[in-house]
């Protein structure tokens, strides 16, 4: 139950300001077709960036072993690792096959479904529910390099 309520809270935190801003622009002039197209393009770009980040984080979760870091630092390292790996993969595919928008769209959606959903659910439930963090002991804690 807590997982669903956390997901609903996250969705509400994103959707309520979006609805308020959209309602403001609809009720206040000037609102025409070109503005609606530009606004929807802006929203699409933000959503696409979120999808790419969740894919990259999910890729990092699947490939990296558990790290003895703070959960938010672990999430950041996983996302950065996934972004680096996906950038190399895009470079390799683009160099060998060529750039095809449909191919990259299908790859992005498939990998997001496979990896990103797990990362997003971990962000919503696992990281938000941590009450305290105790770092792992280090062997050379007295040495400063």
DSSP-derived letter for residue 67 is P
CA dist 41 and 64 (Å) reads 34
Token pair of 126, please? 């696992």
For the beta carbon of residue 9, count every other beta carbon within 10 angstroms. 12
List the pLDDT tens digit at each of the 145 positions of the chain. Answer: 566 777 788 788 888 888 888 888 778 767 678 888 888 899 889 888 888 888 888 888 888 888 888 888 888 898 899 899 988 888 887 888 877 777 777 777 776 666 666 666 665 554 444 444 444 555 554 444 3
What are the domain boundaries of the chain? 2-127
pLDDT computed for residue 80 by the predictor: 92
Global pTM reads: 0.56
38-65: string of b/e by CB count within 10 Å (b at 16+)? eeeeeeeeeeeeebbbbbbbbbbbeeee
């Amino acid at each position: 139950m807590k997982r669903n309520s956390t997901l609903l809270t996250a969705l509400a935190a994103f959707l309520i300001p979006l609805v308020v801003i959209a309602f403001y622009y609809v009720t206040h002039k000037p609102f025409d077709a070109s503005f609606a197209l530009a606004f929807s393009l802006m929203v699409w770009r933000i959503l696409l960036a979120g999808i790419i980040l969740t894919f990259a984080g999910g890729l990092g979760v699947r490939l990296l072993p558990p790290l003895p870091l703070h959960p938010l630092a672990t999430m950041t390292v996983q996302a950065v690792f996934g972004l680096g790996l996906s950038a190399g993969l895009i470079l390799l595919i683009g160099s060998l096959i060529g750039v095809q928008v449909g191919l990259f769209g299908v790859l992005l959606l498939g990998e997001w479904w496979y990896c990103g959903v797990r990362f997003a659910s971990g962000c919503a439930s696992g990281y938000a529910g941590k009450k305290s963090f105790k770092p792992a002991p280090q062997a050379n804690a007295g040495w400063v390099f």
